[in-house]
Structure 1
Amino acid sequence: MNRLCHLLCAVALLGLSSLANAFDLQQLSAQLGKPSVIHGDFIQEKHLRALPQPLTSKGKFVLAKDYGLLWLLATPLKQDYRISTVGIARRDANGWQLLPSKSAGAEQNRLFLAVLQGDSSGLQRDFDLQLKGDAQAWQLTLTPRSLLLQQVFKQINIDGGELVQRIELLETQGDSTLLRMINSSAASTLSDAEHHDFVD
């Protein structure tokens, strides 16, 4: 499970403009917590220093504020993941299997949930946050404060309009990951199958 999934909750951003005030972190937090469900497609490019071409994967995601994230890889291999307060699970022939917890992974999972819940105070414990633009065209830059995250990330950039459009992870060792969110849309409820995947 790559580290990117822990930040995908950022797709919950739903733009609501404010004509009276400059767009700030408090408004961004409100947007993060607003949508109940987000559906969309993703294209992920992993740029490794040792390879001339990026590793590309594609799939679909379902983000539910009350449950977590379904990350459904379609290519180059088919694999389903679920991220929730319990941890990260992967689906196999026997159903959902919880993956072993590691200290760095647990820290990143906590980060993921902070973003999902619109908890800017939680993010500020681990990152310096810089927000530019307005609700229709904005960029949030996360610079890690904690030593653990500094060992992994140099910087994280999240760009969006009405919904998040692009997430870029710049790693300390020189590798990077670019995630493009496409065909994203908000919904009020999960389908029966999606609900089953979250609670099973």
Structure 2
Amino acid sequence: MISGIPKTVRRLLPCLLTGLLASSPALASGVDATWILRQLAQPAPSQTNFVELRGSALLKEPLRVEGQYRRPDAGTLVREVRTPYAETTTIADGQVSIARAGKPPRVFALQRVPELADLQASFGAMLAGDLAALEQNYRLQPSGSAQRWQLQLTPKAEALARRVRAVTLHGQNAELRCIETQPAKGEVQRTLLGGAATAAAAVRDAAALNGLCSAGGTR
């Protein structure tokens, strides 16, 4: 049953969207979605460390999940969590596999969760530079400058919009440094990447961590 699919699977792909862009008019500030796409497109293999921050009104500071995202080949996405637990989620060949030490992997067909299949397709389109495909799935709003930019993605498909209200990418020059995912219900989830994830290593204050995301990692 779809309801039996762990929340980990539903969280995974929004955090892997390192640039879902479509063509748009150039901004007065000098950046547009096409420019951002050129900065972020990466051929496989690629990898980046992440620090995922999950807010809660019950916690004094965000829950931190740390690990690494990997793309060993064009058809495979891997999310390896190292702290505070060990878990590896792999998306390949139309399946999602979640593995924890001492337990058999849990495997699900991606087609059972259409909104996740749409997200995976969009991620692939970004890496391939397929602007038309991205535009089919998202409304895009770029802003900022080449030194500090944002790109907000609003899902068009009803199935995805029921789970994700918007995804905002924050970058500095050619580096994607943070992804903010606003679920339809619940707290904003922030994922720090690359240099911002490195900067977060010694930071515990919630406001400072959130600032690493919104300020593009310059502190």
Q: Deviations over 1:107-150 (max 9, x none)?
A: 33333333343333222212110112344421101122221122
Deviation, 1:76, is 1.6
- Preserved CA contact (<8 Å) 2:50 2:68: yes
Tell me which moved more, 117-126 or 92-101. Answer: 92-101
How far 1:183 moved relative to its partner? 4.4
Structure 2: runs of 5+ lacking an equivalent: 1-7, 22-28, 197-219
Q: Which residue of 1 aligns with 2:13?
A: 6
Question: Does residue 1:40 correspond to 2:40, yes or no?
Answer: no
Shift of 1:153: 1.7
Higher relative contact order (CA 8 A, sep 6+): 1
Deviation at 1:97, TM superposition (A): 5.7
Residues 130-187 of structure 1: CA distance to partner in whole angstroms, max 9, x if unpaired? 1123444211011222211221122211011222100001112132211001349xxx
Equivalence map 1:35-184=2 (5 Å): 35-48=43-56, 51-53=58-60, 54-64=62-72, 66-84=74-92, 86-91=94-99, 98-100=107-109, 101-161=112-172, 162-183=174-195
Number of the residue aligned with 1:18: none
Say whether the 8 Å CA contact 1:46–1:56 is kept in structure 2.
yes
Letter in 2 for 1:76: P
Q: Distance in 1 between the 2:39 and 2:158 partners?
A: 29
With 59-68 and 152-161 compared, the bigger mean Cα shift is at 59-68
For 2:73 and 2:142, how far apart are their aligned partners in 1? 23
Letter in 1 for 2:144: G
If each structure's strand is expressed as a fraction of its own residues, which one has the higher value? 1
Quote the Cα distance in structure 2 between the aligned partners of 1:12 and 1:64.
20
In the TM superposition, residue 90 of structure 1 has moved relative to its aligned partner by 2.5
Identity over aligned pairs, percent: 22
User: Where does structure 1 differ by over 4 angstroms across 4 or more consecutive aligned residues?
Assistant: 92-97
Considering fraction of residues, name the structure with more helix. 2
Distance change in 2, residues 1:60/1:11 (3 Å) = farther
Matched, 1:26 2:26: no
CA RMSD of aligned residues (A): 3.1
For residues 57 and 114 of structure 1, what CA distance do their matches in structure 2 show?
27
Deviations 1:42-82, CA, capped at 9 Å, x for gaps: 11112246x33533211122234623322110112101112
1:193 maps to which residue?
none
Alpha-carbon distance, 1:95 to partner: 8.1
Alpha-carbon separation, structure 2, partners of 1:69 and 1:177: 20
TM-score w.r.t. the length of structure 1 is 0.71
Rounded to whole Å, the distance in 1 between the matches of 2:146 and 2:73 is 20
CA distance, structure 1, for counterparts of residue 124 and residue 79 of structure 2: 15
SS at match of 2:64: strand
